[in-house]
Structure 1
Amino acid sequence: MEPIQIFGVVFALFALSRVIMQIKKRNINMNEGIFWIFIWSSVVIFLLFPECFGYLANFLGVGRGTDALIYISMVVLFYLIYRLYSKVDALEKQITHIVREIAIRDRYEPKKRD
């Protein structure tokens, strides 16, 4: 086993433990937790058994396992960027709604000044 594999497995197991802890503390919901458990478990499996990349590449019709990893990683990253964009957009709408409500309330109920 190469040093980079050992480092990667240790890091992935650490990240996996963080995900499990976040699920137990209910900081992330179960669907997100399952997604991240799948991702980090896949990282561990592919680090321990790098020949799986070759099988994955053949299955996807890509020349090398590294290329398959890069393509899959790009798709996952684009998906995560989309999710972040959606959440930021929803937060902006919520903030706008709250600010409008506060402005309307303050118009009819002026603040008392000491």
Structure 2
Amino acid sequence: MYAVQYIAVIIVLALMVYVLGKYGRNELDWQDLVFWEALLFIMLVVSLKPVEISTTIRKILGLGRGLDALFVVAIGLSYLLLFRLYIAIDKAEREITELTRQIAIEFQEIREMLKKLEKD
């Protein structure tokens, strides 16, 4: 194993412990825990056997070099993560919009009640 592989293994294991700690402090849902741990496990396997895995992916995708295959897979995973982030942001925006509407409706009702009380 090369020195960079040792470094990668240490970093990935540290990230796995970090994610478990986040879950332990209830900062992550179990779905997020499974997703991130699976992704980190894949990264751990790739860091342990980079040549074999890149060669296999290269043959499956029909690319010229193994490193190209790893870049293609990494870019694909990056797009999946971006899509997941987009979905989460869109959901949060919709919830904020709905809460704003509810607050505006309640505020208007309160103003109407105050006007009625002032008249009496």
Counterpart-to-counterpart distance in 2, 1:23 and 1:60: 36
Q: CA RMSD of the aligned region, Å?
A: 1.8
- Number of equivalent positions: 111
Q: For residue 12 of structure 2, what is the amino acid of its counterpart?
A: A
| Cα deviation code 1:56-78 (max 9, x no counterpart) | 21122222221111111111111
Counterpart-to-counterpart distance in 2, 1:108 and 1:46: 59
1:76 is matched with: 77
2:117 is matched with: none
Counterpart-to-counterpart distance in 1, 2:42 and 2:95: 36
SS of the equivalent of 2:64 reads coil
Counterpart-to-counterpart distance in 2, 1:24 and 1:59: 39
2:41 is matched with: 41
TM-score (norm. length: structure 1): 0.84
1:29 is matched with: 29
Counterpart-to-counterpart distance in 1, 2:64 and 2:35: 27
Q: Which has the higher helix share?
A: 2
Q: Counterparts in 2 of 1:10-29, with a 5 A limit?
A: 10-29=10-29
- Which entry has the higher C-alpha Rg, 1 or 2? 2
Counterpart-to-counterpart distance in 2, 1:65 and 1:22: 34
Question: Which stretch shifts more, 89-98 or 56-65?
Answer: 56-65
**Structure 2 unmatched runs, 5+:** 115-120
